[in-house]
Structure 1
Amino acid sequence: MTVSLHAPARLSCLALALVLAGCATAPSAPVTINIVAINDFHGNLEPSRYVPVNAEGGKEKAIRAGGIEAVAAALQAWRKQDKDLLFVSAGDLVGASPAMSSLWADEPTIEAMNMLDLRVSAVGNHEFDAGRKELLRQQNGGCDSPRPAKACQMAKVYRGAKFTYLAGNVIDSATGKPFIPAYRIETVKGVKVGLVGVVLQDTRSVVMASGIAGLSFEDEAQAINRAIPQMRKDGADVIVALVHQGGTTKDHPLQPGCTNLEGPIVDVVKKIDPAVRLVISGHTHQGYLCTVDGRTVTQGASYGHLATRVAMTVQKGAGVPNDIKVENVLMQAGDYPADEKMAAFVAKVKESSRAALNRPVARLAAAPVLRKQNEAGEAPLGNLIADAVLAATRNVGARIGFMNEGGIRKDLEAGENNVAAFGQAQAVLPFGNTLVVMDLTGAQIRRILENQWKEGSSGGSMLQVSKGFSYRWDGTRPVGSRVLGMTLDGQPVQDTKTYRVVANNFLAEGGDNFPDFAKGTNRLETGLLDLDAFTDYLRASEGQGASLAPEAARIIKVQ
């Protein structure tokens, strides 16, 4: 028998190899990935009014909450607990913004998010408010903007977002591919976290058609599922979906474990690959912490009022999280030590904006003027705006004014002695829409009103109408036949007669699923801003009940 002198060394190597092989196959220890999410911030750099909805559907006391300084302070404190915390957004960071951001083409909000190390944001529908060109500029930087009077005006150089906008279901017709990335992968504590983002499929109905030419919006779940194989190839250990679509629930926004979520997001979640266990949603400005088909579905209200904290336990190679814990945290000044850099930045933006923001507009009879609708669908602030756009265009023949609910972003607040400033008026109508006057038949007006209850769409809303026009509707009748009668100045509106109406250019293009507006004839593009019409009307109405004292109902619900 011959024994090799190297046998002991070979045995040692074999033993070592077996040990190493065992180490390679042993599962890694679970780690906790901490995520903080916001949604629908809409450029609200300052705190704003927030009324939480409780579990019984009632309302709690209104408070001041949100704003970038409160969010920054919380993130600063939480990062001391976990330096690897991921900060993400589910869309609508900008657009429909108060003046302190919108005066400067929302560049201050993008810069604030850069300062907070935001990593990704799903694109929201409001990111398209100024069109695809402006969205790409906000991502990539530069001053070539469709809003030259605002872009690069506070700072002469704009370098763009350091975070990545995601839009897996927004397809460029020229290439057949997403026009910006569908996903991004972040490595956290050795784990690769795949973040995929989509916007509501119905975006086309809620943005200006001219701004999204050449883009199509596909099914949200299909786009997420399509991205997953490539994300896995790129090493994603776990996948989180950022979906700019949402729902509603009567559950309290701070209460985990709700099972009563309703709305479009439920159908989206049910179609998403089961590997996706966490869906961070947006769009509906609700706060909730819900479960749908075993998935965790969250939303953090809007305007930075709530921040959603997620603690996700992940084991590398498992493919799905071991555990997910979520909470919504109220963002209020003073709850955490201030982020001094952010406080200084906001002070700088505020000083640059001060003159325009503080310019007094008019004294209101009472404040705030509320946008909340009654059971019939009528709101004091909606009436006021519809009256304003009509007053501004009577000289070109307008007799009926329409205003879409979604275009009214906040209550009209006022300061000392009930004097409303420009910044407060601009927060109500932040889009910079212009007014379009057109002819519509009575039949077309009837169809427009019927479309308020259009089935199978997340768009549409109750239109607000001007003084002198009224209609009755019956909610027990089938959709398409609910309007019982319309009158103008006390006379019945006739289907065959033509009426001169005014609406903002968003509605005029058929926005919010009101296609008959786009069919209006004898159109006059006035170029007049709805905000200018509003502030002019407030001045003209000063001391004459601009708070809208009770009057004859314009929208009458029969049943």
Structure 2
Amino acid sequence: MSRVRTTRAAAVLAGLVLAASATTAAAAPADQGGADAKGRKPGKDKLVDLQILGFNDLHGNLEGPSGSSGRVVVDHRLDPTTGKPVDVTVDAGGAAYLATHLTTLRQGQTRTITAAIGDQVGASPLLSAAFHDEPTIEALNLMGVGVGTIGNHEFDEGYREMLRLVGGGCLDDGDGKDNQNSCAAGEFQGASYPMVAANVFYKGTNRTVLPAYTIKEVDGVKVGFVGAVLKDTPNIVTQAGVAGLDFRDEVSTMNAAARELQRKGVKAIVAMVHQGGSLKQEQWTAPDGKTYPVNPAFDVVCGKGGELDPNSDILPIARNLSPKFDLVMTGHTHQSYVCDVPDPAGQSRYVTSALSFGRLVTDARMKYDTRSRDIVRSSVRVDNRIVTRTVAPDAAVTSLIATYKELVRPIAGKVLGRITTDVTRVQSPAGESALGDLIADAQLADPSVVSNGVKPVVAFMNPGGIRTDLTYKASGAEGDGVVTYEEAFQVQPFNNYLVSMDMTGAQIYTLLGQQFTGSNAAFPKVLQVSKGFRYERTAAGAISNVTLGGVPVANDASRTYRVVTNNFLSDGGDGFPAFKEATGKLIGGLDIEGFAAYLAASSPYTPGPLDRIVLR
């Protein structure tokens, strides 16, 4: 809807999530007479129950995600045909089921607060993204979220848009321009809960973009919540979206906020950090007596013998956050863990994460001492619980989803063209994929990136931006081989802009080398390239025989080439700083619109041979 943008102050609410199977957390038994982790003795007969619920990385998944993204690993078994271990999973996730589980978890809990730990929006399915993620914020309001912090994806459309999602109001988006429509269901009210972030400042000031903390009071109990997003956010989002902001160290800024809370008499404090841990493979002992490395079950780390990778980014943060924090809730890495990571005073403290896409909820239960006004650290119990789909979906959230499914229908069902076979992300040994080729060719053909009549001659696409395959078999009533706008959007859901620029031959060689060096040394990222561009590489990443239209690209500055990519890569994202050295940049249209136009113009589309990148 085309409207004048308005704003309103974000308010406060409470609540949150959950479900069935539990992950475990080992903790010392509650000691109602002894000292807690901070050396204070709880007041006799003055302990009350407190519940903190949390989840992270919903990414606008209002409906239960499909495939592995909509399942939770609960066990393993040996495949009788192959004799190899396979995951045992249950279907999980979906906002309406999440809301029901939240209601169930809160039953009997007088003092309960729900926290959302970042990336609730961004990289979202079309049902949310077509409406600038307004439906997801409305669903979180209905679920009773009480407090939240931001993740890197809250900056996908810039920090001003993030603030609008918090405060409310409508975008003047031309009544559905670029297949998006703000306030399609009426005036958007924003989040009904406070959003906090202690480490994001306006550049050159000591003023935070969002409040550093908030104080939640439930039935006489005050709990402080301090938020932070990973300090490396500028390296993984478009630079235009964070221009004018300063992302500072998580630990120092959060500790400063905790000291301020203590000065205000708030001693029970929870950290919400959108940074996370990586998991090692689970060593599973099968019925045959052999031990196999497998994907960790949701409740293994750290409750059943699994452990975090010691190089996990969250560990130095957790180890250095002030002992004033009683619980550290995290996200970003889409993993499930409940781990005891001692605080700087050497006292036990839980660090948690609840997977992603609304499949798990962290359920932390503890005692609060009304005399010391603090959490009894030794009383804390934490479980990750599965958001199963075997319960009745929440009626209010179901109604919200139904409203937006009807509103999105004209956009989602738009037919773009046909494909004659599956076009997938599966990479050749050299790292090239059929879908990568298609997207790169679409970027090269987009007229919005032509600068003064000069067309780009090569396009580069990051493989991580290709989120799903285009499958020949119909996903709905459209028919086999038919590609709809919704299906195309699922492939490229980030709403990145295309950017054309000038790069020298030497810069292009440097760019290709960065696929295997620097931050990509451990896990190479092979860029997808457009037709006419070809090169050879070794397994170690040595680049040679780079050609364009059969003509060698000289590894020097003697020739300049017009290239095109998305704005994320243009800003040096994914470890490709060579793009930042390019000149004459022109910002074109949205990548999804170029992709959609190319599909229509190339219908019926048949993928060609994977011969642009050659492994030798």
Q: Following the alignment from structure 2 to structure 1, what is the Cα–Cα distance between the partners of residues 359 and 614? A: 32
Separation of aligned partners in 2, 1:390 and 1:530? 11
State the match for 2:98 in structure 1: 71
Residue pair 1:238, 1:321 contacting (<8 A) in 2 also:
no
Alignment partners' CA distance in 1, 2:173 and 2:264 = 37
Q: Return the alpha-carbon distance in structure 1 between the equivalents of residues 227 and 145 of structure 2.
A: 14
* Counterpart Cα distance in 1 of 2:221 and 2:430: 52
* 1:389 lines up with 2:443 in the alignment: yes
Structure 1 unaligned segments of length 5 or more: list them: 1-23
User: Within 5 Å, which residues of 2 pair with 1:237-386?
Assistant: 237-249=267-279, 250=281, 251-257=296-302, 258-261=306-309, 262-293=311-342, 294-316=348-370, 317=372, 318=374, 321-333=377-389, 335-367=390-422, 369-371=423-425, 377-386=431-440
Residue equivalent to 2:63? 46
More relative contact order in 1 or in 2 (CA 8 Å, sep 6+)?
2
1:533 to 575, 580, 594: 594
CA distance in structure 2 between the partners assigned to 1:349 and 1:175 by the alignment: 40
Alignment partner, residue 457 of structure 2: 399
- Cα deviation for residue 99 of structure 1 reads 1.8
TM-score (norm 1): 0.83
Residue aligning to 1:454: 518
Cα displacement string for residues 475-514 of structure 1 (whole angstroms, at most 9, x for unaligned residues): 658xxxx545634445543212332211012322333443
* CA distance, structure 2, for counterparts of residue 148 and residue 133 of structure 1: 20
The correspondence for 1:495, drawn from 543, 546, 555, is 555
Equivalent position amino acid for 1:72 in 2: A
Equivalent position amino acid for 2:299 in 1: L
Q: 1:387-424, CA deviations, whole angstroms, 9 ceiling, x for partnerless residues?
A: 32123359853232111234334444651424332122
For 1:263 and 1:296, locate their aligned partners in 2 and report how far apart those are by CA, in whole Å: 15
Would the aligned equivalents of 1:96 and 1:409 in 2 still touch at CA under 8 Å?
no
Most deviating of 308-317 and 221-230: 308-317
Question: Given the alignment, which residue of 236, 252, 272 partners 2:266?
Answer: 236
What's the counterpart of residue 8 of structure 1?
Answer: none
The residue aligned with 1:20 is: none
3-state SS, counterpart of residue 82 of structure 1? coil
Where in structure 2 are the equivalents of 1:99-178 lying within 5 Å? 99-143=126-170, 149=176, 150=180, 152-173=182-203, 175-178=205-208
On the 8 A contact 2:497/2:590 being kept in 1, the answer is yes
* CA spacing shift, 1:427–1:31, aligned 2, 3 Å: farther
Which residue does the alignment assign to 2:529?
465
Any idea what SS the aligned residue of 1:177 has? coil
- Is 1:551 the counterpart of 2:610? The answer is yes
Describe the shift of the 1:30–1:441 C-alpha distance in structure 2 as closer, same or farther (beyond 3 A): same
Count of equivalent residues:
525
Report the Cα offset of residue 196 of structure 1: 0.9
What is the root-mean-square deviation of aligned Cα atoms in Å? 3.3
Partner SS for 2:514: helix
Question: Which residue of the other structure, out of 506, 509, 518, is the alignment partner of 2:580?
Answer: 518
Of 352-361 and 198-207, deviating more is 352-361
Gaps of 5+ in 2: 1-40, 77-83, 282-295, 343-347
Give the superposition deviation at 1:227. Answer: 1.0
Structure 1 residues 260, 484: closer, same or farther in 2, change over 3 A? Answer: farther
Cα pair 1:65 1:332 within 8 Å, conserved:
yes
Supply the AA of the counterpart residue of 1:300. Answer: A
Distance in 1, Cα, partners of 2:569 & 2:194: 31
Structure 1 pair 106–487 and aligned structure 2 pair: CA distance change class (3 A): same
Aligned to 1:205: 235
Residues in 2 aligned to 1:46 and 1:501: alpha-carbon distance in whole angstroms: 38
| Distance change in 2, residues 1:381/1:544 (3 Å) | closer
Return the alpha-carbon distance in structure 1 between the equivalents of residues 429 and 48 of structure 2: 50
Distance 1:270 1:422, change over 3 A: same
Q: C-alpha separation between the residues in 2 aligned to 1:351 and 1:179?
A: 35
Mean CA deviation greater in 339-348 or 306-315: 306-315
How far apart are the structure 2 equivalents of 1:307 and 1:448?
Answer: 41
With structure 2 as the length reference, what TM-score do the two structures score? 0.76
Query: Bigger radius of gyration, 1 or 2?
Result: 1
Alpha-carbon shift at residue 223 of structure 1 (Å):
1.4
Between the aligned partners of 1:373 and 1:62, the Cα distance in structure 2 is 26
Q: What corresponds to 2:223 in structure 1? A: 193
More helix by share: 1
